[in-house]
Structure 1
Amino acid sequence: MWHSEALIQVFSDFWLNQNSANVNQLGVLYQNEELYVPTINHIRIARVLVKHLHYFVNSALPPISSPPYYQQLPTSIDQFKKTTVLGIIQKRLYTFLRHAFHWWPLDSSFRLLLETWLSYIQPWRYVSQTKPNLRSNNEEDDNAIIQDRWYSFVVDNLLFYSAIFHQILPRFFRMDLTSPHNAYMMFRITKVFSNPNLVAMLHKAEEEMYQPIFLQASTSRDIGGSYLSPDHRLNAALNVQISELERPGFQYLPLFDRTTVDTVRKLLINIAHAKKEVRTSEQAEKSSQFNFPTIWLKMASFFNPNNFSGDSDSIELQRKTRQHLEMVENQLQYIFDIAPPEVLFYDDNKDNNSNLTNGDVHKQCQHDETLPDFETTYEGKRLTDVGRHQLMNRLRTANVSYQGDPDLQPVRSFENGFLVQNLYNICCQINNQCSTTIHNLYYREDFLGRVMRAYIQPPLCLRDFYSPNKLRITSMSSKPHISLRLFASYYILFRLLLLYLILYLCYDISFITYFIILFLIIFFYGIVHGIFIKQPAKPPPRNCSGSFEDLLSNFE
């Protein structure tokens, strides 16, 4: 027996003990500390070790019922098999997986590490065929877990289920869920955790090991008072497990806690968005499957099939990806007991779920699927938590429009800051010195007025908003004015330069002649505007305050 123990000890030290020094400081590296990340072959060997250890432990003989006056003690080898994993492998494998999950890159090679973890938390998959009492007749049955046999394993390894799941969950927010590899990896996790008996065992384990504090049902009251105590306390068994496996200061988060459920809701929103993109791509692939170039390539592949990979493989891959995302969606809703209307705020197949209520607040899911989710309050439209998540992850965009003076808005990416500032100063001098003349020319009703309205900007009703206090709006009105900010745009400057190069190469004109031509073009533009555009002048704004409903309509 000591040969087996020595062999397992050597294997665990050689393959699972590289980062034991960093077990208490996950993710923290010092200046002279070397980071060790296992390779793919290393992960593959670790998985083989886990599978063989499960087979070894599960080969122990089950306890035999004996008469009350005679008790048969387990053999030494069976006792060794039952204590091997917890005594030698558990801590080192937990540290190995936590470290690898923390530093592993976001690529398809993550699947092998994921399968190693899933192999350990599913010992019922590695039972010998000679043990019919440990597994059902149908190995593919998802309910083939006998709770009485495996519940002790779930309790002894609860951190493998909860802590590592919490560590993996944020990775899927940084991964492209439309990728077939990523969708399948997420499906593998949810398929394991959606097993009904495993869900029941996890619920039972957390209820027993993470119990609420209740006041004693006795007539005498404790003067010490427990109302100031924390809401929950950890069971002693879980405390021992945390102290052995985790770093100091670790706070256990239950698997079915409200925080976890909220995170899963956000993940389901990403899944719904990815599923919609995959469905759109799948439909586009099907629509282009029978066009002329594709048919021609298929005819050519008849003579040389190695040079053509048809669209059928791509369509089949898209279909499997969509099916995996749909199954992940259903399985997560089952595991964490989330109703579909709570999640899918903007699925194209669930438009009838847009009229949801939360207290007295009416949540509106817009018909425009590009806008984030918001709610209407007495202070206006406000983003919900789902809407903030959609904006931060760029799942949706908001149509934000500048409500102030257009000449005072910040310099945009397609503008030259130097020209914006200097052209604004020139316009301010002209508008201040010639404000009366500009006003009279703009409101003329004759041909000259129509010509000048081609060059003069109309008056605007401006509003200033003050937040985050209560909604306060200060309104002001502008006068007809001159604005030259258009000439600070790189697009306009490029077109003017292109026009100059064309005229220079074709007619060899000088720079002064070019400015004269530009002046004539601008002049004739005003003449044409005065002849064909007979729109009357915009009246000056009388009251810019308006009603609150009129103000809200400007944001729609």
Structure 2
Amino acid sequence: MMSLGNDGFFLSDILNYPLIPRCDEFSHIIERCSIKELHDLFPTLVNSIFGVPNTTGWGLRTVCRSLNQQEFDCLYNFFTPLGPMFRLCYRLLNEPFKFDVPIEMLPFSTSQVLHNGGYANFYSDMINIDPCRRQIVSLSLNAFDYFMLHFLLHGLSPIHIMYPGALAAHNGLWKTLYFTLTADYLCTFLPANPESVVMPTNICGSVKTTISVPIQPIQPNRSPKYLSLSAITHNFTTNATAIRSPDSFRQHWRTESVLYLFIDIWLRHNFDECRELPSSEFIRVVRILVKQLHAFGNSAELDNTSMSVLRKLAQPMMNAQMYSFLRCIISRWPLDSSFTTVLELWLSYIQPWRYTHPNNSMYVGGLQIPHRFEQFVMENIVSYTQILVQLLPRFERIDFSSIKNIMMLYRVLKVFGQGNLSELLRQSEQSMGSMHIGMMSTPNHKPHKYSDNFNASNLSLSYRSEQSLHNESYKHLFGMEVNDHLKHLVQKMIVFREIHAEHATKLERDLRNRRKGFFKYIKWLLIHDDDASSQQELEDSKKIPDILNNMLNAVSNIFDIDLPSPEEIMAHSSQYSWDESRSYEQSALMDMDKDVSDIFPSPTIMKKRVMEVQYMGDPALIPIRSSEMAFLVRFLHTVSTKLNEKFEREIDEVWNSNGILGQLSRQVLYPPMTVRSFDKTLGFSRELKQEIGARITFRLMASYRTFITLFCAYSLGSLIYESGLFGLLILIIIAFIYIVLSSFLNDPKSS
């Protein structure tokens, strides 16, 4: 244990304080302790913050503002770029202190690059070599780099597995403290605005020294399958030499550190080499990094300072790692609702024109891609074409009865259908084909306006045959193989367009029938609110045909294919009856020699599946609807939950009784049921079942419809009987009579 000053406190004692007093105490310590004392406590403090080796630390990845605002604000103020933690780092920079990080702590792919000597010159003054083994054993970092490195490594740790409570925050829409701090750090140290200055400005500039050795370009950990880095390597060598001036170090060394560390720790990380996939939170913070690197690099033309050299390096450094990173993540990520997060990361990367400074923006959605970004598209064509080729078979297997699944494919087609992007990609592939394997043949091929002025030498892409690295060949996005996948996908979209149109008509008819007749109308108006979910389902089913129409038009425009008529699809797909199609599908699924993606069920099967989709959880826990008051739903749910817990045995007895009381209770209580949910914490979907008994629910009282009904009854009572309470009494009597009649006619136990 280490004592701090003359106060008699020990570091281990303070680290055991509750979170808020702990932050306050360390804020005072940072201000009043000597440099030597701060140097001694710094590594222990950092290890405690980030939970080294295997704990959640101070909760940066588990604390959310929406769940615990007080702790969130306290931690945020402590770790903000101008907060106490960074003041500690900057105080330590006044002395030539170094802090060692063992090479084993780094991701395997990053440490492998260091061992192989393929690292950038940024690391030249950091590495420590064991003279006996002649191997790199550690990195010696200044306080700022030491903190940043541990911050990045913390994002890679599987906290969502070590601490299952974090899974909801990571897979939901909540923003953890780690997410917020990542955005702050990137916006502060990689400013998109060329006029911004990294604060504070009065930081010691002697933390690095000018290096005279030749600059070594950054190389990917694994040689990319298609990407040729000759142009990027030239830029690295030229530009990296330029930034090794004393002036640029004094001004922008923090930006350089953040640029290299974020890319090398996060984007070099190979998830094929570890068993666990990252959390959705990690994918979201990487997306922040990608967007900020685009914005930072796109401002190079407007920046007249020495930081413009770093801006020019940002995108090439990212490009060298992103394809392998994206391909690895996409190939292993489960195709559920969380896949949207991965999809948005990819779409952000391939649209750099979306992240430009207002003074430098020339792109309006749907118009031509600005000429300055055409080179980016050509040099990174595999990130467009090969990722989409990888995704198409997966999209063939998604359930098109869900609007969320449909929207994923819609987002992709909308991006590829914008401006002249598809023309650029097609022309790039044609130029590749003419250079390597002759001009490829595509169905319904049309000439493009880029044919005359397209320079094939601009491509940073070299075609590899099947005998090349990893024995993997380039698959042409506009080739015949992809065209076959598109035919299956188009067929599925057309069938589901008709299915959802019919389903919407049926739902609308059912909702009207529920309100016909006096008693049915009273039940719909007063007692039950079960049709709200059907109303939402109806709205979705009405939207989906229009969305599918837009998707079909996008496929036709992007890939120049003719759409089959609905009659042709139905004639081809409906050759089996329901029983025959079901037995055919099951036998095909059992045939291991056949690809599941080739099995296309008939429209009858698809209609049956859509009709059978239903909510399997507790009706009282359905997400809050627009027709309800959110605060009242939560309050009434808390009240009913406490009553159900306190009187569980009495409620069950009343429900199962045979008298008039039992009959009445079965009309107003929620019946016993089996609640089904799905657990995905183990990497696959596992169905869980839970039996729940009869229970009280007051959710009906939170509906706007209930308040309108009560208001109308009160108003009518005031107008007719000059007493609003009399109107409410009549309404209660009518509702009671209906419940009594229903208890005799529709008692589930007697039937």
TM (norm. structure 1) is 0.51
Change (3 A) 1:129 1:298: farther
- Amino acid of the structure 1 residue aligned with 2:534: D
Does 2:267 match 1:16? yes
Equivalent residue, structure 1, for 2:413: 190
CA distance, structure 1, for counterparts of residue 341 and residue 322 of structure 2: 15
Q: Which residue of 2 aligns with 1:393?
A: 600
The whole-number CA distance in structure 1 between the counterparts of 2:496 and 2:297 is 42
Q: Deviations over 1:470-502 (max 9, x none)?
A: xxxxxxxxxxxxxxxxxxxxxxxxxxxxxxxxx
Q: Does 1:143 align with 2:367?
A: yes
Could you tell me how far 1:57 is from its partner in structure 2? 1.0
Structure 1 segment 440-479 matched on structure 2, within 5 A: none
Instruction: State the alpha-carbon separation in 2 of the partners of residues 194 and 330 from structure 1.
Output: 10
1:161 correspondence with 2:384: yes
Over residues 391-447 of structure 1, what are the superposed CA-to-partner deviations in whole Å (9 max), with x where a residue is unaligned?
Answer: 83233799xxxxxxxxxxxxxxxxxxxxxxxxxxxxxxxxxxxxxxxxxxxxxxxxx
Residue 77 of structure 1: aligned partner:
307
1:274 aligned to 496, 502, 517, which one?
Answer: 496
Q: CA contact under 8 A between 2:379 and 2:458: conserved in structure 1?
A: no
Q: Deviations over 1:240-278 (max 9, x none)?
A: 5979xx953221112111211121112111111222221
Match of 2:547 in 1: 324
In structure 1, what is the Cα distance between the partners aligned to 2:492 and 2:521? 36
1:129: Cα distance to partner?
1.4
Are 1:115 and 2:344 matched, yes or no? yes
**Distance in 1 between residues matched to 2:389 and 2:560, nearest whole Å:** 17
Cα distance between partner residues in 1 of 2:289 and 2:463: 22
The letter for the 2-side match of 1:14 is I
Kindly indicate whether the alpha-carbon contact (under 8 Å) linking 2:291 and 2:349 is maintained by their aligned counterparts in 1.
Answer: yes
SS in 2 for 1:38: coil
State the alpha-carbon separation in 1 of the partners of residues 331 and 486 from structure 2.
20
Q: Are residues 321 and 397 of structure 1, via their aligned partners in 2, closer, same or farther at CA, if it must alter by over 3 Å? A: closer
Deviation at 1:168, TM superposition (A): 0.7
The aligned amino acid for 1:315 is L
Give the C-alpha shift of residue 17 in structure 1: 3.0
Deviation at 1:366, TM superposition (A): 6.8
How does the TM-score come out when normalised to structure 2? 0.38
Secondary structure of the corresponding residue to residue 434 of structure 2: strand
| Equivalent AA in structure 2 for residue 97 of structure 1 | L
Q: What secondary structure, in the 3-state scheme, does the structure 2 residue paired with 1:107 have?
A: coil
Higher helix share: 2
Distance 1:236 1:155, change over 3 A: closer
Letter in 2 for 1:312: Q
Contact 1:178 1:277 in 2 (8 A): no
Whether 2:426 is the aligned partner of 1:203: answer yes
Q: Return the offset for 1:3.
A: 2.7
What amino acid maps onto 1:113 in structure 2?
Answer: V
Match of 1:51 in 2: 291
Against the structure 1 CA distance between its residues 263 and 120, is the aligned structure 2 distance closer, same or farther, given a 3 Å change threshold?
Answer: same
CA pair 283-131 structure 1, distance change in 2 beyond 3 A: same
Amino acid at match of 1:116: L
Q: Does 1:92 align with 2:332?
A: no
The gaps in structure 1 that reach 5 residues or longer are: 23-32, 64-73, 216-233, 349-364, 373-387, 399-556
Instruction: Kindly provide the CA deviation profile for residues 372-397 of structure 1, in whole angstroms up to 9, marking residues without a partner as x.
Output: 9xxxxxxxxxxxxxxx9998323379
Q: What is the aligned partner in structure 2 of residue 71 from structure 1?
A: none
What's the secondary structure of 2:360's corresponding residue?
coil
- The answer to whether the 8 Å contact 1:209/1:235 transfers is no
Counterparts of 1:344-383 in structure 2 under 5 Å? 344=566, 346-347=568-569, 365=571, 370=576
Distance between the aligned counterparts of 1:370 and 1:172, measured in 2?
A: 24
Map Cα deviations across residues 335-373 of structure 1 (whole Å, 9 max, x no partner): 1111123x756356xxxxxxxxxxxxxxxx57965489x
Count of aligned residue pairs for this structure pair:
318
2:369, 2:419 within 8 Å by CA — same for their partners in 1?
A: no
- Cα distance, 1:165–1:266 mapped onto 2, change above 3 Å: same
% identity of equivalent residues: 28
Equivalent in the alignment of 1:260: 482
Q: Give the letter for the 1:46 counterpart.
A: V
Deviation at 1:144, TM superposition (A): 4.9
- Is 2:403–2:540's contact at 8 Å kept on the other side of the alignment? yes
Counterpart amino acid of 2:367?
N
Question: How far did residue 178 of structure 1 move?
Answer: 2.1
Distance 2:302 2:528 in 1: 57
Offset, 1:78: 2.5
Kept after mapping to 2: 8 A contact 1:278/1:318: yes
2:257 maps to 6
Between the aligned partners of 2:268 and 2:276, the Cα distance in structure 1 is 11
CA displacement at 1:92 relative to structure 2: 2.7
Find the aligned partners of 1:110 and 1:165 in 2 and give their Cα distance: 14
**Higher relative contact order (CA closer than 8 Å, sequence separation 6+):** 1
Q: 1:164 to 1:287 in 2, by over 3 A?
A: same
Contact 1:210 1:235 in 2 (8 A): no
**Stretch of structure 1 that moved more, 196-205 or 307-316:** 307-316
> Would the alpha carbon gap of residues 303 and 15 (structure 1) be closer, same or farther in structure 2, given more than 3 Å must change?
farther
Distance 2:384 2:278 in 1: 22
Q: Deviations for 1:273-328, whole angstroms, at most 9, x for unmatched residues? A: 22222122111111112113688677556558977625332211112222222211
> Is the Cα–Cα contact under 8 Å of residues 296 and 311 in structure 2 kept in the other structure?
yes
AA partner of residue 599 (structure 2): M
Q: Is 1:178 matched up with 2:401? A: yes
Could you tell me how far apart the structure 2 residues matched to 1:79 and 1:144 are?
28
Name the SS of the counterpart of 1:102 in structure 2.
helix
1:14-50 per-residue CA deviation (whole Å, 9 max, x = no partner) reads: 3333317x4xxxxxxxxxx632312110111111111
- Contact map agreement 2:573 2:603 (CA 8 A) in 1: no
Alignment root-mean-square deviation, CA? 3.6
* Structure 2 match to 1:510: none
| 1:161 counterpart letter in structure 2 | Y
Q: What letter corresponds to residue 265 of structure 1 in structure 2?
A: K
